[in-house]
Structure 1
Amino acid sequence: MIRPIVKDILFLQRKAEKASRKDAQAGRDLLDTLAAHSSDTCVGLAANMIGSTKAIIAIKDGSRSILMYNPVLVKTSPSAYDAEEGCLSLSGRRPCRRYDWIEVRYEDEDFHKKKKRFDGWTAEIIQHEMDHLQGILI
């Protein structure tokens, strides 16, 4: 189900709670909402952006969407770069610093444990959405 995008700063600043299989519907809603906003150049969403307090993100990686439950950054590149990012929940663009590559441990949409390295644009998207899970707004 496509959900409205939350713009309430106080809600968005709350840290996410661990997701479980009971939160699978929130994951599906996140994917549906991401697809619905693809024409808005939306490439990622965190669950708090659709009103859920759970640690779930959905990102676009090329033509496919990836759903991650309980993502954790386990390793980062030693180097980082300055970026400027926008967000559907906020107006305008803001500066931030991002790692060149990241390694993430997460559970996939079937709740299987995964660990994967991402680089470039995909790594930047994941870092932005993982910030949302910590209540950090860019």
Structure 2
Amino acid sequence: MIQPINKNINSLQEVAQPATPADRQIVTDLVDTLRAHQDNCVGMAANMIGQTKRIIAYQLGPMLVPMINPVITQKQDAYQTAEGCLSLSGQRPTTRYRNITVRYQTTDWQTKTASFSDFTAQIIQHEIDHCDGILI
């Protein structure tokens, strides 16, 4: 179900709790909400829909990919950029990494490790920051 976008700075700065199989509906709602905002958004974290769970979703071409309990385990090649966010107004400067490795769980609760680069890595870093209560 499509959820409203959370713009409350205090709740956006809360550190997300690990997700469990009981949180499947949050995954579905997050993907549905990202799909509804695809024209101006490429990624979302659960706290952006008012849920303090460690769940993100990002756009990869036509696919919307959820990641549960993502953790960056490796990062390389820092650079400066500016980003926007549906939960915040305007663009803000931030440091990102061109190459990252992430450990996460799939919607089947299988643990995976994958490497990402460039814009996809940037999206994932932004959303994992949301899980950690970090705003750009």
Check whether TM > 0.5: yes
Aligned to 2:62: 63
Q: What is the deviation of 1:87?
A: 0.2
In the TM superposition, what are the counterparts of 1:78-93 in structure 2 within 5 Å? Answer: 79-93=77-91
Q: What is the deviation of 1:6?
A: 0.2
CA–CA distance in structure 1, aligned partners of residues 104 and 87 of structure 2: 24
CA–CA distance in structure 1, aligned partners of residues 135 and 96 of structure 2: 14
Unaligned runs of 5+ in 1: none
Unaligned runs of 5+ in 2: none
Q: Normalising by structure 1, what TM-score?
A: 0.97
1:40-88 residue CA offsets vs partner (Å, 9 max, x unmatched): x2000000000101000000012211100000111111x2111100000
**1:51 maps onto 2:50 in alignment:** yes
CA–CA distance in structure 2, aligned partners of residues 85 and 76 of structure 1: 19
1:77-131 residue CA offsets vs partner (Å, 9 max, x unmatched): 1x21111000000000000010011000000111111100000100000000000
CA–CA distance in structure 1, aligned partners of residues 102 and 79 of structure 2: 19
Percent of aligned pairs with the same amino acid: 53
Give the superposed CA RMSD: 0.6
CA–CA distance in structure 2, aligned partners of residues 15 and 8 of structure 1: 14
Q: How many residue pairs get matched?
A: 136
In the TM superposition, what are the counterparts of 1:78-117 in structure 2 within 5 Å? Answer: 79-117=77-115
1:22-51 residue CA offsets vs partner (Å, 9 max, x unmatched): 000000000000000012x20000000001
3-state SS, counterpart of residue 119 of structure 2: helix
Kindly provide the amino acid, as one letter, of the partner of residue 74 in structure 1.
Answer: T
CA–CA distance in structure 2, aligned partners of residues 36 and 111 of structure 1: 25
3-state SS, counterpart of residue 126 of structure 1: helix
CA–CA distance in structure 1, aligned partners of residues 72 and 79 of structure 2: 17
3-state SS, counterpart of residue 103 of structure 1: strand
